[in-house]
Amino acid sequence: MKREAYLIKDVRIFDPALKLDQTGDVLLRDGKIEAMAKGLKPEGDLEILDGKGKVLVPGLVDLHTHLREPGYEHKETVETGTRSAAAGGFTTICCMANTNPVNDNAAITQYILQKAREGASVRVLPIGAISKGLQGKELAEIGELKQAGCVGISDDGMTLMDSQLMRLAMDYARGFDLPVLTHSVDANLAKGGAMHEGEVSCRLGLKGMPAEAEDIIVARDIYLSGLTDCHLHVAHVSTAGSVELIRQAKRRGLKVSGEAAPHHFTLTDAACEDYDTHAKMCPPLRGEEHRQAVIAGLADGTLDCIATDHAPHATVDKETEFDQAAFGILGFETALPLSLRLVEQGAVSLERVIQSLTSSPMAILKRPYTGLQVGAVADVALLDLQHVWTYRASEGFSKSRNSPFEGWEMKGRVLGTWVDGKRVHQG
């Protein structure tokens, strides 16, 4: 079978992990980056793209997404979710275990991977459950999950409140060399909460989730990481307290990493005014001091990566009373431009942003990172950092429409995404 071939001419080749920032031509052929040099004149049938003024980066990696299959195919499927991911420049994504049935056994993992083989636009790496049914009562078959293809374990969406079971999970996962990804919200302290606890929740008469509900669990899990020598990855860090806890843990040399979600570094709880359910997520949008702390954590590397927490929901789940609405928003197609805003504002360097979307998440998964070098797998994204456009969820590729960024002016666009040398998105 003939493979696709592309020659991207005069493009800025940018891979901060490899300290690469130069202009030249890049040839993608036979699934590989075949050549990178100035003035390439390759033979054969290929599509030539003008890369002048554009940037070629390694394909983006998202550690935290919800593809909703099996069980919630009305919200998203592996096919639609990965298509949306491709439009966002992602070439590898991890999907969380809160499907129905839960991905707590090898059969479900295999089902997801089968769906991915049949119709995924990008690479799919499943995350298995920590506990059976995400119930927090007994361990899932973690060894078999890994064997089936899971790259980490998480009870995302639920916090494992039993500290003893969490300790056992981390001990056990350490033996299988799997990272444990945590959703850190003290379930008792945050019970019934619909948004961040503070002035806005008080005004709106909505039950709040205090920042401390996150801090307490992050602190506990950092201690357990020290006790078990297990890699702890704190998902969607939203509070100044947890940023500081992770910073200290890293200083102490613990195996702890963290991620920031674009909505947490872009919006505050003020977005909940007027009871906009698209501003409802968990962890919730916090106050400005927390937002600034997350940005600072991303800038100094305390938070290793940016992950979207792409959480599609059908209109019926969102067009409802605020306290009844589902938590979560779409993430893939807005992640890059929202991250680039931080560069535009001078808060985070372009190097850090691209690293946090490429090499850093791969390092957390302990997967080999090949990046932009000759002979590497051709997982790449071509970006126009200057292109200004207006985001419309209805023009996106997800099955769902739940985004608080509807109508926002975005700067930075994905012009093309390639996985294994095959173009999976053209923007």
Is residue 303 classed as helix, strand or coil in its secondary structure?
coil
Nearer residue to another protein within complex by CB, 197 or 384: 197
First CA to last CA distance, the chain: 26
Q: 152 Cβ partners below 8 Å, 6+ apart?
A: 63, 94, 127, 128, 178, 179, 180, 181, 233, 365
| 16-25: long-range pairs with CB below 8 Å, 24+ | 16/350, 16/351, 16/352, 16/354, 16/355, 16/359, 17/58, 17/355, 17/358, 17/359, 17/369, 17/371, 18/371, 18/372, 18/373, 20/371, 20/372, 20/373, 25/51
Binding site for another protein (CB under 8 A): 191-192, 197-208, 210, 274-275, 316, 319-324
Nearer residue to another protein within complex by CB, 37 or 187: 187
Bridge-based pairing of strands 60-65 and 90-95 is parallel
Nearer residue to another protein within complex by CB, 103 or 268: 268
Q: How far apart are CA 301 and CA 411, in angstroms?
A: 24
Q: How far is the CB of 191 from another protein (least distance, A)?
A: 5
Nearer residue to another protein within complex by CB, 195 or 365: 195
Helix axes 211-228, 240-251, angle to 10 degrees: 20
Q: How far is the CB of 400 from another protein (least distance, A)?
A: 17
Q: How far is the CB of 131 from another protein (least distance, A)?
A: 24
Q: How far is the CB of 234 from another protein (least distance, A)?
A: 24
Q: How far is CA 9 from the centre of its chain?
A: 30
Is residue 193 classed as helix, strand or coil in its secondary structure?
coil
Q: Which active-site residues does the annotation give?
A: 309
In the numeric block, the tokens 């935290």 are attached to: 64
Nearer residue to another protein within complex by CB, 129 or 206: 206
Q: How far is the CB of 195 from another protein (least distance, A)?
A: 10
